[in-house]
């Protein structure tokens, strides 16, 4: 049993009581909703004659279905339009603030809450979306929930939950040039497995994380769920406070000092006890690429696609499935694999610093012939900031398309989709079969800088070589 960790402290502070099932009733400090997983929840609420109990603690936006080219209403896709209208109506009926397209605040739900300062240390945060773990970067306990639980939060601002164990994932040292936060988390998942985290909250600790900025921390926490952990977090520190200061919803004036003092008090104690500890060395982490159909099937960009003999026995069945689906040959280098589509965006890597790193690689190069490459900013604010810095011009000059904000081809619920057997280099978080909109489409996950490198070379390419030649 963990003791004295941030997880324990936040859990205890938010505990309302114990339910007859033995589960904990946990107060949820911030609830985020979007168009995909909320309509049925509102319908269930209506069925029971209920309304949102704390409407001011729920924030809505629209991200999954929005087109990234023409966003005029009504949407060309009737079903998308119907979902949009349902959200607008549900928010209105329940007095919930909705950041609609064109408000200047719309974007991927896990991008907008941090950038507005809604996400704060010590909060419990829930959203009907598994990548809610992103918000743990601030030292919040944040996790994805299903639609029935969205209903529960709306109805009671609480959830029925069982406490998780806490595993400390310590990474120490400085990352080598060309190695990014994305590589760190892909490396962790590759090592611990996609179900290694089941039953755990991950606490990311060590000097590698303390050196990271908030956006890098969000990338890491974002993919906790791909390692099976329902949530991941990093203890708040001065980097967190500097990021938050003066954000729209951050405490101001005297409240700010109170807040910082409280945030300091909820950090994991120096002598905190963990259920498990795993240690990594940052210097050992290479730019990482996935070769298979789960985020755990990753290798260093300069490595060979593993042969069945190199794979743990219980993972071989899945590896066989991956070889045939991906059409990659065991024992052959991943580098040089031709790609068709390059996607930069998503809640993992669609923030301003991601776009900056990708632009650094793209600048002065041109997207290789026959490659479709596009950049989708994570939010309206990210887009605006990028344009103010001229990143859009760099991308467009290099042959990338510059789009409107949304989830886009991360899961392809909007018109952005792979076609047939196309293979994509993607800065998103999931390479599951069919994830990017074509039932036979293929995805290679990597950092945004690596996606930019793949775009200009037309194939998987070690970004370190491009950076060295600068």
Number of other CB atoms surrounding residue 40 within 10 Å: 16
Applying the rule CB under 8 A, the residues between 134 and 163 that interact with another protein are 143-149, 151-152, 155-160, 162
Handedness of CA 111, 215, 302, 321 (dihedral sign): negative
Applying the rule CB under 8 A, the residues between 269 and 298 that interact with another protein are 294
Identify the residue whose tokens are 């071989």: 316
Residue 462 contact partner, candidates another protein, ligand SF4, none, CB within 5 to 8 A by sort of partner: none
Nearest to ligand SF4 of 138, 343 (CB atom): 343
Q: Do the beta carbons of residue 326 and residue 436 sit within 8 Å?
A: no
Nearest to ligand SF4 of 124, 348 (CB atom): 348
Position 413 contacts another protein (CB under 8 A): yes
Q: Which strands, in side-by-side order, build the sheet including 24-27?
A: 15-18, 24-27, 158-161
Q: Kindly state the helix (H) or strand (E) to which residue 463 belongs, with its residue range.
A: helix 463-468
Shortest Å distance, C-beta 19 to ligand SF4: 30
Residue 108 contact partner, candidates another protein, ligand SF4, none, CB within 5 to 8 A by sort of partner: ligand SF4
Of the candidate residues 129, 183, 216, 404, the single one contacting ligand SF4 (CB under 6 A): 129
Handedness of CA 297, 301, 307, 310 (dihedral sign): negative
Applying the rule CB under 6 A, the residues between 56 and 75 that interact with ligand SF4 are 63-64
Rounded to whole angstroms, the Cα distance separating 226 from 196 reads 10
Per-residue b/e over 376-393, b at no fewer than 16 CB within 10 Å? bbbbbbbbebbeeeebbe
Applying the rule CB under 6 A, the residues between 388 and 427 that interact with ligand SF4 are 407, 410-411
Nearest to ligand SF4 of 343, 461 (CB atom): 343
Applying the rule CB under 8 A, the residues between 421 and 440 that interact with another protein are 430, 432-435, 437, 439-440
Position 8 contacts another protein (CB under 8 A): no
Position 357 contacts ligand SF4 (CB under 6 A): no
Rounded to whole angstroms, the Cα distance separating 383 from 122 reads 29
Closest by Cα among 449, 452, 350 to 404:
350
Residue 63 contact partner, candidates another protein, ligand SF4, none, CB within 5 to 8 A by sort of partner: ligand SF4
Nearest to another protein of 87, 367 (CB atom): 87
Give me the residues paired with residue 231 across strands: 201
CB-based contacts of 46, cutoff 8 Å, min separation 6: none
The pattern of x and - marking residues 4 through 43 that bind ligand SF4 according to CB under 6 A reads ----------------------------------------
Nearest to another protein of 216, 416 (CB atom): 416
Rounded to whole angstroms, the Cα distance separating 27 from 13 reads 9
Nearest to another protein of 128, 306 (CB atom): 128
Q: Kindly state the helix (H) or strand (E) to which residue 445 belongs, with its residue range.
A: strand 442-445
Q: Kindly state the helix (H) or strand (E) to which residue 148 belongs, with its residue range.
A: helix 147-156
Position 140 contacts ligand SF4 (CB under 6 A): no
222 phi, psi to nearest 5 deg = -50, -45
CB-based contacts of 51, cutoff 8 Å, min separation 6: 45, 93, 94
Q: Cis bond leading into 156, ω under 30°? A: no
Shortest Å distance, C-beta 186 to ligand SF4: 15
Shortest Å distance, C-beta 130 to ligand SF4: 7
Position 48 contacts another protein (CB under 8 A): yes
Rounded to whole angstroms, the Cα distance separating 420 from 237 reads 46
Identify the residue whose tokens are 């006890």: 273
CB-based contacts of 317, cutoff 8 Å, min separation 6: none
Q: Residue 222 in 3-state DSSP?
A: helix
Shortest Å distance, C-beta 348 to ligand SF4: 7
Position 183 contacts ligand SF4 (CB under 6 A): no
Classify residue 271 by its DSSP letter: T
Position 131 contacts ligand SF4 (CB under 6 A): yes
Nearest to another protein of 110, 360 (CB atom): 110
Applying the rule CB under 8 A, the residues between 108 and 127 that interact with another protein are 120, 122-123
Shortest Å distance, C-beta 77 to another protein: 7
Position 338 contacts another protein (CB under 8 A): no
Residue 152 contact partner, candidates ligand SF4, another protein, none, CB within 5 to 8 A by sort of partner: another protein
Residues that bind ligand SF4 (CB under 6 A): 63-64, 108, 110, 129, 131, 346-347, 407, 410-411, 428-429
């Amino acid at each position: 049993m963990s003791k004295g960790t941030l997880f324990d402290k936040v859990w205890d502070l938010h505990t309302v009581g114990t339910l007859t099932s033995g589960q904990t009733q946990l107060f949820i400090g911030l609830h985020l909703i979007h168009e995909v997983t909320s309509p049925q929840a509102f319908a269930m609420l209506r069925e029971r004659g209920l309304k949102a109990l704390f409407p001011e603690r729920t924030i809505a936006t629209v991200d999954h279905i929005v087109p990234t080219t023409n966003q005029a209403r009504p949407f060309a896709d009737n079903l998308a339009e119907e979902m949009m209208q349902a959200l607008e109506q549900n928010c209105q009926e329940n007095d919930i603030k909705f950041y609609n397209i064109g408000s200047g605040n719309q974007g991927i739900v896990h991008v907008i809450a941090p950038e507005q300062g809604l996400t704060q240390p010590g909060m419990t945060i829930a959203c009907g979306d598994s990548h809610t773990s992103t918000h743990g970067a601030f030292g919040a306990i944040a996790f994805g929930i299903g639609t029935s639980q969205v209903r529960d939060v709306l109805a009671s601002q609480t959830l029925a939950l069982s406490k998780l164990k806490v595993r400390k994932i310590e990474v120490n040292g400085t990352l080598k040039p060309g190695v990014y936060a994305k590589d760190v988390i892909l490396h962790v998942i590759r090592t611990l497995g996609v179900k290694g985290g089941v039953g755990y909250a991950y606490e990311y600790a060590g000097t590698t994380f303390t050196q990271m900025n908030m956006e890098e921390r969000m990338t890491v926490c974002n993919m906790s769920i791909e390692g099976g952990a329902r949530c991941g977090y990093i203890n708040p520190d001065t980097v967190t406070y500097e990021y938050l200061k003066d954000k729209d919803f951050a405490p101001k004036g005297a409240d700010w000092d109170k807040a910082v003092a409280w945030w300091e008090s909820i950090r994991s104690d120096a002598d905190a006890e963990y259920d498990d500890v795993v240690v990594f060395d940052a210097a050992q982490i290479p730019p990482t690429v996935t070769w298979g159909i789960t985020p755990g099937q990753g290798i260093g960009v300069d490595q060979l696609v593993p042969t069945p003999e190199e794979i743990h026995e219980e993972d071989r069945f899945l590896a066989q499935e991956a070889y045939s689906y991906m059409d990659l040959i065991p024992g052959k280098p991943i580098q040089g694999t031709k790609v068709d589509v390059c996607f930069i965006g998503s809640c993992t890597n669609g923030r301003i610093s991601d776009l900056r790193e990708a632009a650094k690689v793209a600048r002065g190069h041109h997207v290789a012939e026959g490659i479709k490459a596009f950049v989708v900013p994570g939010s309206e604010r990210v887009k605006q900031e990028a344009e103010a810095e001229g990143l859009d011009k760099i991308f467009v000059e290099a042959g990338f398309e510059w789009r409107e904000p949304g989830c886009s081809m991360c899961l392809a619920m909007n018109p952005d989709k792979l076609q047939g057997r196309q293979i994509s280099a993607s800065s998103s978080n999931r390479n599951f079969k069919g994830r990017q909109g074509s039932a036979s489409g293929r995805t290679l996950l990597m950092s945004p800088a690596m996606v930019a490198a793949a775009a200009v070379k037309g194939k998987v390419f070690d970004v370190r070589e491009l950076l060295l030649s600068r």
